[in-house]
Structure formats: structure tokens, C-alpha cells
Amino acid sequence: MQDKGNTRIKTYIKIRNNRPDILILDKIETEKLRKYDLLANGFGLIFMFTVLCQNNISNTPKRLEIPDNLEA
């Protein structure tokens, strides 16, 4: 759809109490939503990976039996 204005669609259903008309998402807006959804899912995976790495790094000295008072 090219028109981004207030487009009316005639239906056989009457809308009560002055409710807003049905809105149609055009192809570009749908594509944006899909891309942002994929991006949001990717951020979740990155966050999960980061948390797992931090947990493993903090437990490494204990596994290697390195004393806490040792400095680099």
C-alpha cells in the first residue's frame, strides 16, 4: 500500500461507540517489525552467551586451585 494516511475500509460490521477504524500495516512496516524481532532474538543469545562466559571465567581460579591472594 502506498497511502499512509487514514484509509477507510468498508465492512458489513458496524463499529460501536466511535471506535477507531481497522489499521493495515504496509509491507515496509511489516518488514521493519520482522527485522527488529530477529535483532531482539539475537541480543537475547548474545546476553546469554556473555553470562555463561562470565560464570565460567569467575570459576576458573577455583578449578585451577589458584589462591585468592595471588596477584598478576
pLDDT digits (tens, 9 = 90+) for 15-60: 666 656 656 656 777 777 788 887 777 777 777 777 777 776 776 6
Asked if residue 46 belongs to a domain, the reply is: yes
72 band by pLDDT with thresholds 50, 70 and 90: low
Total count of domains within the chain: 1
Asked if residue 40 belongs to a domain, the reply is: yes
H or E segment at 7?
A: none
Asked if residue 55 belongs to a domain, the reply is: yes
Asked if residue 32 belongs to a domain, the reply is: yes
Phi then psi for residue 4, to 5 deg, are -105, 10
H or E segment at 51?
A: helix 27-63
What is the extent of the structural domain holding 30? 25-72
**Whether the predicted pLDDT of 2 surpasses 60:** no
